[in-house]
Every structure is written in C-alpha cells, then in structure tokens.
Structure 1
Amino acid sequence: MGLFYPLEKAGIVNPRNVYYNLSIPILFEHALSRREGVLSSTGAFAVWTGKYTGRSPKDRFIVCDQRTEREIDWGSVNVPIEPDTYQKLKEKLLSYLQGRDLYVYDGFVGTDPDYRMAVRFINEFAYQNVFVQNMFLEATQEELACFVPQFTVICAPNFHAVPDLDGVRSEAFVIINFTEGMVIIGGTSYCGEIKKAIFTVMNFLLPEKGVLPMHCSANVGDEDDVAVFFGLSGTGKTSLSADIQRKLIGDDEHGWSDKGVFNFEGGCYAKCINLSKEKEPQIYQAIRYGAIMENVVLDEETRQPDFSDSRYTENTRVSYPIELIPNALIPGIAGHPRVVIFLTADAFGVMPPVAKLSKEEAIYHFILGYTSKLAGTERGIVEPEATFSSCFGAPFMPRSPVVYGKMLGEKIEKYKTRVYLVNTGWTGGPYGVGHRIDIDYTRAIVRAAIDGSIEDEEFYQDPVFKFLVPKKVGDLPAEIFVPRKTWKDPGLYDQRARELQGRFEAVMQKYKLSLE
C-alpha cells in the first residue's frame, strides 16, 4: 500500500527509496543488511547507540510562538527556540534526507479512540522503524487508506547539527513545533528521544480535553482495581507494574479521562541492567524476536546478552510489543484508579518504605516529584543524584506543574482514590552507606496498598515529613518502617531528614501561591 498523505507535506522531496509500514521481519532484514545491529541469542535485535546512551535533556527545545508562548512552563526543562532558527535547521535536515532511504510508519498514540493522535514516523534507520512499531499503535488497512497525521516525527541520527551555526547546544537536537505538528530529531540514535518527544506532545494537548496525562505505569486486577505508578526512570515503574497476578495496562504513559485510564502506547521500553529471570520474569521472557536491545553487552561468540555488564551504560534498554507480556490488557483501557502510587528512589535514605497521603499531600508530593536520577538515564549521571522532577516527569510535562497537580487533586477526590508514597531507594543510610530496599519488600507493600490490607495496619505520623506511616505491613521487618532505627547514628538521620524536608519546602515555595 502506498502513502495516502504524501511525504511532500512534511517537506521531504527526492528520497531514494521510501519503505512504508513494512512488516517487522522485513525491517529486521533491512537492518541486518545495513549493519545497524546484530541478532542476539534470544532472537532480540541488539544495537549500540554510540555517544548518546540516554536522553539528552539539554538538547531538547520547543518552538516558542503564538501557540505556545503563554502555555508552556518555560525554563531549564522547556527551553524555547525561535521559529526562524527551527526552520533553518529543519531545511538543512530535509536537504540531508534527499537521496536517502526512508522508513515510514503511520500509527496512533493513545488506546482510547476518543483521545488518540495519528502520528507519522519517518526514520533513517530501519531498526528505529521497528521500535516505533513496538511502541505505538497499529492502524488498520482501512485507516491507512485515508491516514492523515496530526503530528510527524522525523528522526535522522546521522545528521549532526553545528551548534555555532544552527542555534542549538550540540550536534544532537530534539525540537517540537506544536503549530506545525512536527518533531525533528538528529545527532542521536537513542530511541527514547522518539518516544518521549511524542509523549511530550500528548502531555501538552490532553489537558485541553480535560484529560490528565501521566508519566506512570498502570495495571489492573480481576475486579477492575486499577493501580497507577508514578516515578522517573529507574524507580521501579516497569518492574512493579509487571505483576504476574495482575494485567498490565502499560508501563510508561497514560491518560486519565472521565471514563478511566488509557495507555498511550502499544509496547514497553524497560531498563534491563542487572535483569534476572527470577526477579523480573515477564520482562526477561519478553526479550526475544521482535524486541530491540540498546547497548546491552553480548558475548562475542554466543551472542548471549550479559545484563550485568554496564560497560556502555547503566541505561541498557529493551523495547518490545506489549503482546509479549503474557497478561497484558489489550487494548490498554481500564476504569478509574483505586490506588495511586508515587515511587521515589530516595538517595538520602531517610524516607520510609511507604507513606499514606491525603489529597493535599498528594498534590504536594506530585508537584514536588522528589526522587534520584539513577546512573545512565541521562548523560553525565554516574551515581544517584537527588532531584526534583515535578509530576514525576518534568522533562515530558510542558505545562505548569500546578495545572497537572490540580487536575490530579480533582481526580482523586472525585473517584475516592487512595494515594501512597513508596520509597524504592535506600535504607540504613544514604547511597554509599545504606542499601537499596529489597524489591520483594516493595512488591509486598504495593500489593498491600492495592488490596487495601495496608489500611488495617496501625499508622504513626512521621515527625519530620508529617505524613502517616504504617508501623508494619504484613510479615515484613517492622524496623524498616521507622527509617531512623535503621541508621547507626540516629542523630545523623534526624539531621539529614530535616535537611531533605527543608529542600522540599524550598522547592515548593514557588508553587505555594498558585495552589492556594
């Protein structure tokens, strides 16, 4: 089938060959013949992304024009770029694409037909066209026959910008133009840039339709008991939502409408450093034919992946269609969440493993977005670094955090949703002294939160953070629920806890008036 909507509409002229919505087997044949990667022993296709093994947030821009000038929360995260600067760089990119093979995929973002968006992906690499097929939603033949994209993403990793000439910061760039309905990406082959750019678009557009966009994973039990998990990369979103006892709705981005929760995507993009069959069986078993591994070290002879080897990056990744998760909910549409869980990897080691939040506390901690960036998720991060990422996804939330926070508060009040803050980080001391909380403990806590049994426990008020903390959960060691008791020096714990709470207050100061 040919393209109903011509490539010339995106400014692309004189390409060499245009491969449209090819099947995954044929795309893999192209990728192998072009030496874009190799086949691993599991059947997954392995690639190496070179210099950029994670997102490059300082190289992402949004075009500032009449559409966005007053709607975007401009600053160090949402960096403006002038329309003329964007146009000149785009013209150079389009010139570069002349005479080159292009891989085009037309599909959708958003499983709910009422809120989905038609997107065209134009890729220089064949394997990245597999990636977008894994991650986004397939159009039917009837839909392709009249497909008109609402947004177009052009990704050309081998095209490098010249910072001094092109008005950007490095050879890599990701630029979103909401007025034009276009994303251009160059200089980086890290697949996460494609995924997160189009999710940023959704996160900007959906509030206009009364839908809360969420950087979260979500699953559901047999009684339609939906749970959503907020958290930055590395905090456990993917691992904790992939529960064999529940159906996976999705692992990264969702919308919460008046009908319930729906997944943005049709696949998963999971971290796989230190992945084990015992700890994360669903992800482990999904790494087979159809999946793409990024920067995973392979044995030279057997092509067996070594998930413990971080020589290229801590941010090793695997992309796979959600159908490879045995208990995935397809399509990813479910009811209203009974439970919202905020995941934080506390590098200070002072947060309890779980706390119960009121509506006001939920809005506070949602906007605060405290966690630790983990090694490898962004360039330059080599060890956990405390950070505050509003809405647990500031790089992808272009509007003011207050907009999203107020929407969350309205939703949890309307649907009587319970909210918990869960620490998947350190206990017994800060990073380098204490140790990371056992994921099996976290899973037990999460299950107790979801089934409601945690509400049967006795709670105490944390003297520093003021939220309610259970004195125990099931048969787990009671001492972990009073983090002060896990430190060798309780006085040092008190000092560090007060320091962190002080940082909380300093960060939230600029939002205080807007929330009142």
Structure 2
Amino acid sequence: MNRLDLTRHGIGSAAAVRNATPTELYESALTHETGTAVADSGALIAFSGERTGRSPRDKRIVDRPEVHDEVWWGEVNIGLEPDSFDRLRAQAVAHLDSLDHLHVVDGFAGWDPRYRVRVRVICERAYHALFMRNLLIRPTAEELGHFGEPDYVIYNAGAIPAPDGVPGVNPPTSVSLCLTSGEMVILGTEYAGEMKKGVFTIMNHRMPREGVLPMHCSATAGPQGDVSVFFGLSGTGKTTLSADPKRELIGDDEHCWTDEGIFNIEGGCYAKAINLSAEAEPEIFGAIRRGAVLENVVHDTATGAVDFDDASITANTRCAYPIEHIPNARVPGTAGSPDNVIFLTCDAFSVLPPVSRLTPEQAMYHFISGYTAKVAGTEMGVTEPEATFSACFGAPFLVWHPGVYADLLAERIRRHGATVWLVNTGWIGGPYGVGQRMKLSHTRAIIDAIHDGSLEHAETVTEPVFGLAVPTRCPGVPDELLMPEQTWNDPAAYREAAADLAARFQANFEAYRSGVEPEVVAAGPRVA
C-alpha cells in the first residue's frame, strides 16, 4: 500500500493510504463500514446514512477580502467568517487525526492539462475514497509521483456533526469552502455527492478567471466529429441522454468551454439509478460492475441482486463509475467546440414543447432563467417535483454572478455558430399528477433528429406564449405530442397553466433585467 504523510495538514495518522486500488478499498469498506456489500454485478453497495442528497442550505463560502468582489453573495453563496471556518477545519482535522485508518485520493479536475486542478481528498470511509477515485481524473503512476502539493484539499469528516455555537453554521451539517486557502470541510453528512459538487464549485470560481466557461452539462461527439452539450439540473436527463451508443461520451455532468473547445472536468460518471433497467439504459446498466459504487440501493443480502425500482431508502439512488466503464467513452475527455447546445428542462407543468429551436436572444433568456423541476430525492426535503429557476442550469454551484457565465456562453455561441435547442423531458398531457412524463424513447428520437440534421431544416410553428419555434414533425415522435396544448383534455386549462408559468418566468427574470440587453428581455414569454 502507498502511504502518505499528512502532518502538513495537521494529521499525524500513520495509516493514511494514498490512492488505494479498488480491491483494497473493497476490503476496507467491507471490513469497517456497516451495511456495505457487493452487488451481484460486482459493484460496491454503500449507504450514506441519514443524508441521501445534497444539503445546499448548509453550504458556506468563506468571505475574505481577496475573493469578496468575485462572489455572487445571497441564497446560493452564504458568507462565513474566517474564524468560523477555522473552527470547523479544526474539528474535522481533530476527528481525522483520531482515526486508526484514513484514505487519501489525489486526482485531477479537468482533462485539459493547461487548466487542470490538483485535488486531494482526505476521508475516513473507503466508500468515499472509491467514489472520488471514480469521479476525479486518475493520475498515471508518473503523474502521481510528481503530483506535488494539491491546489485544493477536501477534509471529509462527515461522520461527525458540526459543533454547536459556531457563528454562521446550523448543526449538524456544514459544507464550507475557503477559496483563498484552497480547502473544503465537510461535517454532518456522508453523502458523497457533496465532494463532487464541491470540486465543481471550485472550477466555477477558478475557470472564469482564465476566460473559460464552466458548464453544468454532459457532452457527446458524433462519428463526423460534431459535438453536442446538454445543460440541465439533476434529473433532467444529462447522464441518460449522453449515454448514446451511436456517439462517443465525453462526459456526463461537468465540462469547460475554452477558446479551442471543451474538456470534461471529471474522470467518471454519477448517474441516477432509480428505475434503472438494461432495456432503457443499457450503457449505464452495464457500467455498474466491479469498481463502481451503488449508493443507498435496496438489495437482496443473500444474492446481491439490486432492486432498482425500490425507493424505500431514497428516490435518489445513485451509481458512480469510471468513465471507461462506458464502452464508447472518449479518453482523454476533450473535443472541439459544440455544434449543438441543448438546454434540458423537466417541466412539471406540461407547458413547454418537447423540443424547440431558440434564437440567440432566447438562448440567453433561457440560460439565465434555468427553468426546470427539482426531482424527488435530489435534495433533502424534496419529495416530488417542484418548479424552480436555477441560473445557468446550475445556480447551486455558481460562484460569480450568473451574468459572467451568460456572457461567456453568448460569446462562444456567436463565435462558433452553435445551434441552441430547448428540450423538455418533463410532463405531457397535464401537469405532474395528471399527465405522464415524456417517454425516454421519444426524447431520444428528438436528440437523434437534432444530431442527424432532421430538425435543423424542419418546418416550425411559433408557440404563442413563449414565442418558441416548434417543429411540426420529428421522426419517431407522434405529431400531436410536439404541441403541448394538443395533449391536454382541457385547452382552457392548458392556457391558464401557460399563463401562470409565463408569469413565473417574468417574475424570476426581474432580478436579471437590468444586466442584459433589451433584446434578451424581449425574448421571454409574451403574456402581460
């Protein structure tokens, strides 16, 4: 085993194992972690405890003069005093130092060597180490030998609660990030996704400083070299739609767009596993094998068979696996600039069309709006889809003001001539509880038509409320599904729902109106 001296981090444990192999991590998890098991597919089954989703309300950014003017302070980025962070860090370090075994994962964020960031994870649980081994880019033996000092360190002491009496902290959970010292501290939650999204938050701060756009999106490349990116929050289909056997997978969730092209931030994928099947999602289903991690799934303790339809622990069951587990993955994860930019939304109101083409102004309006629905289980306390607006389709992970990211996207779309689409993977025939969710087969047909050019030249009609250009035909999709009003039994009820959603869009956009061109404001819905 490769061991690492952590005294520079205030930890004197002599049993800190660095970049352990999957075999070593399996052995450690099965020996030390309650409930851990091996699925019949060979994946490691682990449980995150009480917290089965992210805790965004407990996230804090340390407010220091060096970064104060760069941070979009408010509900997303809540400030934390340096003294409070120091107390949290001391609590985490003391806990980690008290243990007789620790895991260290050194890896990279970003496949482009010019922009990659060195990340170190120090954690108690082998499950967390295997998770981050999958999600970070794994260094070669030579790269690990010359890794040097990390740019950022994650102290994961999630097994213990945050201490009482720390100003700005609401125990038991605290996820705090100091951008100046390059440190992240996790207390009171063992949900592994906090580490992944912490790294993404770091990239959302660091990349715009270098003129690079970080994006909450998946990405694929076609046989002719065409590139598509899929923006969207968790549950909208980024991972599912990017797992396409006809195209190379660049990455499923986090990318950056430079002057030369795009690169994946991660070395693996993190897919929702609820209702997963080999028939509907064969690439993801096949990726769940030895080396992958299954979180919070129900399984047969005798056979290891997983019941992917059982949400009794959480609807946010997950699987994390190295990107190489997808047969057509592109490694290294780099490509040219996108030809198609696809905004995915899960419209719980059944108002937006399954697909529409956006003008450049509409693209900016919908990117800044970031409308979707939070899917049950993605965050603590969300039990059914609820409408939300998330700037840039990733507000929880932004650091700068959304206008910074919007300007970077607009500049790249104009420069490279990308076509922008809005694809609704949500409900048709009525809102949640009345209608049904769009069939995955129909959404895949829409994406295929975007990629083969069928929709590029299709005849369109203008949807009256949002002004969207909606194709009248799409191969593989019944014509009547393309205009939402035609799927409702009560057209008057549809128009009422459309007016209500339009009003929500308008109210949300008031916060951004003064910072964008009048043409962008005018690209919104047309209801008074």
Task: Mark yes or no: TM-score above 0.5.
Answer: yes
Partner of 1:358: 359
**Structure 2 CA distance for partners of 1:322 and 1:475, relative to 1, 3 Å:** closer
Deviations 1:284-304 (A, max 9, x none): 011110010000100132120
C-alpha deviation, 1:81, in angstroms: 0.6
Partner of 2:281: 280
Partner of 1:136: 136
C-alpha deviation, 1:151, in angstroms: 0.7
Contact 2:341 2:420 in 1 (8 A): yes
C-alpha deviation, 1:143, in angstroms: 2.5
Contact 2:92 2:156 in 1 (8 A): no
Contact 1:342 1:421 in 2 (8 A): yes
In 2, Cα distance between the equivalents of 1:408 and 1:167? Answer: 34
In 1, Cα distance between the equivalents of 2:299 and 2:389? Answer: 35
Partner of 1:46: 45
Deviations 1:196-226 (A, max 9, x none): 0011000111011111000000000111110
In 1, Cα distance between the equivalents of 2:345 and 2:286? Answer: 27
TM-score (norm 2): 0.95
Partner of 2:434: 433
In 2, Cα distance between the equivalents of 1:181 and 1:301? Answer: 44
Unaligned runs of 5+ residues in structure 2 are 518-528
C-alpha deviation, 1:144, in angstroms: 2.3
Partner of 2:406: 405
SS at match of 1:362: helix
The answer to whether residue 313 in structure 2 is matched with residue 297 in structure 1 is: no
Partner of 2:58: 59
SS at match of 1:282: helix
C-alpha deviation, 1:386, in angstroms: 0.3
In 1, Cα distance between the equivalents of 2:59 and 2:476? Answer: 46
Partner of 2:33: 35
In 2, Cα distance between the equivalents of 1:467 and 1:248? Answer: 29
C-alpha deviation, 1:3, in angstroms: 6.8
Partner of 1:459: 460
SS at match of 2:249: strand
Contact 2:227 2:335 in 1 (8 A): yes
TM-score (norm 1): 0.98
In 1, Cα distance between the equivalents of 2:186 and 2:296? Answer: 20
Give % identity: 48
In 2, Cα distance between the equivalents of 1:180 and 1:165? Answer: 20
The answer to whether residue 107 in structure 2 is matched with residue 120 in structure 1 is: no
SS at match of 2:219: strand
Unaligned runs of 5+ residues in structure 1 are none
1:176-187 equivalences under 5 Å are 176-187=177-188
Deviations 1:70-96 (A, max 9, x none): 111111111111111111121122112
In 2, Cα distance between the equivalents of 1:98 and 1:135? Answer: 25
Contact 1:461 1:467 in 2 (8 A): yes
Contact 1:237 1:252 in 2 (8 A): yes
**Structure 2 CA distance for partners of 1:300 and 1:138, relative to 1, 3 Å:** closer
Contact 1:88 1:166 in 2 (8 A): no
Partner of 2:172: 171
SS at match of 1:248: strand
In 1, Cα distance between the equivalents of 2:13 and 2:301? Answer: 36
| Amino acid aligned to 1:131 | F
* Number of residue pairs aligned between Structure 1 and Structure 2: 514
In 2, Cα distance between the equivalents of 1:278 and 1:14? Answer: 50
Q: Which moved more, 1:312-321 or 1:147-156?
A: 147-156
| Amino acid aligned to 2:79 | P
Contact 1:347 1:385 in 2 (8 A): yes
In 2, Cα distance between the equivalents of 1:246 and 1:342? Answer: 19
C-alpha deviation, 1:14, in angstroms: 2.2
C-alpha deviation, 1:67, in angstroms: 2.2
C-alpha deviation, 1:169, in angstroms: 1.4
In 1, Cα distance between the equivalents of 2:79 and 2:297? Answer: 34
Contact 2:216 2:232 in 1 (8 A): yes
1:142-291 equivalences under 5 Å are 142-146=142-146, 147-165=148-166, 167-291=168-292
In 1, Cα distance between the equivalents of 2:49 and 2:126? Answer: 17
1:308-323 equivalences under 5 Å are 308-323=309-324
C-alpha deviation, 1:16, in angstroms: 4.6
Deviations 1:222-272 (A, max 9, x none): 111100001111111100000010000000000000110100001001001
